[in-house]
Amino acid sequence: FYSNLVNIVEVGPRDGLQNEKKVAIPVPTKVELVNRLVKAGVTNVEAGSFVSPKWVPQMGGTADVLKGIDRQKDVHYSVLVPNKRGLDDLVALLDNNPSDIPLTDEVSVFTAATDGFNKANLNCTVKESLEKLAVVTRTALDRGLRVRGYVSVVIVCPYSGKVDYKRVREVAKELIDMGCYEVSLGDTVGQGKPHQVGEMLEEVKKAVPVEKLAGHFHDTYGTGVANVLAALDHGIRTIDASVGGLGGCPYSPGATGNVATEDVLYALQGSPYQVAGSNNGTIDLKEMVNIGWWISSELGRPSASRVARAVRAK
Ligand code: HMG
Ligand code: MG
């Protein structure tokens, strides 16, 4: 019934870099990161965000990143947009692109399962954000873009504690109803456990077909790979991951990066699941390890991927 092909959405250049506060990462480094990931076989990559640079300074250069990328056919270079202003800026950029190849074909909109987190992240309640995002989504769809949705804090919220999975279900359903082709469910804090991932997914699946859901796990408590496997067991076939385990959300204090793409690739090697990609039909683990070490060294630290560390230590 279910396909065994697993899609990876590489979120390193966005979720990975957005939380870097010490140094402004130069646009050419971000462009090189995206290009190298795509060469390694990544076909879905979040290239940045059109959010307020006052809120998330590191994403300020996203327009230049999009312009600088060596764009490949059949690769989705998506960007986050929080509001109409972000989408208008993106559309103006797309309209002024002299090339025949569009700069991007996808945006991601984001909201949360709790008002506490949403107020910290988007300065409005969940209900208010859904109203705004309905307009953003309609406008993006009319412009021919596809739209992905995010629900944050699907298990634990840093501001209001244990999350009601019914609320996750309702918000995910609203995003699908407004026209998102897929909704990514985020354990933003990275505190979730595999059995909780299963319980949460079974609740959300009551309202949204599992083919339209993705799993987005931060690895703060070291349960990232286990949560990915639990999600796959419950029918999820799209996983967000970050090269080198980069990242964290500026509005989720103490949360670390996403589950490392290398760690997911390693865990699935030789299993019934096959990771889809454009490098001999998959994503090249060895090259991802190299990219993770390279970008981490640019940030002045070792790769956070356990697999990348183990390989390097050999
Ligand atoms: P606000 O302060 O309520 O907005 O913030 P505002 O409309 O009052 O505008 C404030 C200023 O920002 C104004 O400028 C606007 O022009 C400007 P000023 O007049 O002061 O000079 N502005 C913008 N500038 C550029 N691009 C825009 C934009 N919008 C307004 N799009 C706002 C509301 C949504 C802007 C703000 O809260 C924001 O940018 N939030 C984004 C936060 C963010 O990026 N968080 C990280 C991504 S989400 C995440 O990481 C979770 C995820 O990974 C899943 C998971 O792990 O759970 C996806
Ligand atoms: Mg995230």
- Please check the confidence at residue 69 and state whether its pLDDT lies above 60: yes
- Give 280's pLDDT tier (boundaries 50, 70, 90): very high
Cβ 169 vs Cβ 176: under 8 Å = no
Is residue 110 within 8 Å of residue 80, measured between CB atoms?
Answer: yes
pLDDT of residue 23: 83
Place of tokens 């600088």: 68
Token duo for residue 92: 């103006």
**pTM recorded for the entire structure:** 0.97
Q: Which residues of 105-181 form beta strands (DSSP E)?
A: 106-112, 146-152, 156-157, 161-162
Residue 274 burial (CB count, 10 A): 15
pLDDT digits (tens, 9 = 90+) for 10-41: 999 999 999 998 889 999 999 999 999 999 99
Average pLDDT over residues 269-286: 97
Q: Whose Cα sits closest to atom 8 in ligand 1?
A: 123
Say yes or no to pLDDT of 251 above 90: no
Q: Tens digits of per-residue pLDDT, 127-146? A: 999 999 999 999 999 999 99
Q: How far apart are CA 67 and CA 50, in angstroms?
A: 14
Q: Is the beta carbon of 152 within 6 A of some atom in ligand 1?
A: yes
Distance 82 CA to ligand 1 centre (A): 6
Distance 55 CA to ligand 1 centre (A): 6
Query: 158-216, pLDDT tens digit by residue?
Result: 999 999 999 999 999 999 999 999 999 999 999 999 999 999 999 999 999 999 999 99
**pLDDT beyond 90 at 314:** no
Specify the higher pLDDT residue, 55 or 248: 55
pLDDT reported for residue 31: 98
Q: Does 1 score more than 60 pLDDT? A: no
Ligand 1 pocket check: which of 11, 21, 52 to mutate, most ligand atoms within 8 Å of Cβ?
A: 52
Write the DSSP symbol of residue 300: T
Cβ–ligand 1 contact at 18 (below 6 Å): yes
- Look at ligand 1, atom 24, and give the residue with the nearest C-alpha: 52
Give the mutation target among 18, 21, 51 for probing the ligand 1 site: most ligand atoms within 8 A of CB: 51
Token readout for 31 is 């462009």
CA–centroid distance, residue 52 to ligand 1 (Å): 4
CB of 56 shorter than 6 A to ligand 1: yes
Between CA 114 and CA 119 the distance in angstroms is: 9
**231: number of CA atoms within 13 Å, CB side?**
30
Distance from C-alpha of 119 to C-alpha of 126, rounded to nearest angstrom: 8
| Active-site position among 124, 157, 180, 249 | 249
What are the residues whose beta carbons fall under 8 Å from the beta carbon of 26, sequence distance 6 or more?
Answer: none
Name which residue sits closest to atom 2 of ligand 1, judged by CA: 123
**CA-to-CA dists, residue 116 to 55, 97, 124, 157, angstroms:** 17, 39, 9, 8
Mean confidence (pLDDT) of the chain:
96
d(CA 104, CA 86): 14
Q: How far is the CA of 98 from the centre of ligand 2 (A)?
A: 33
Per-residue pLDDT band at 83 (split at 50, 70, 90): very high
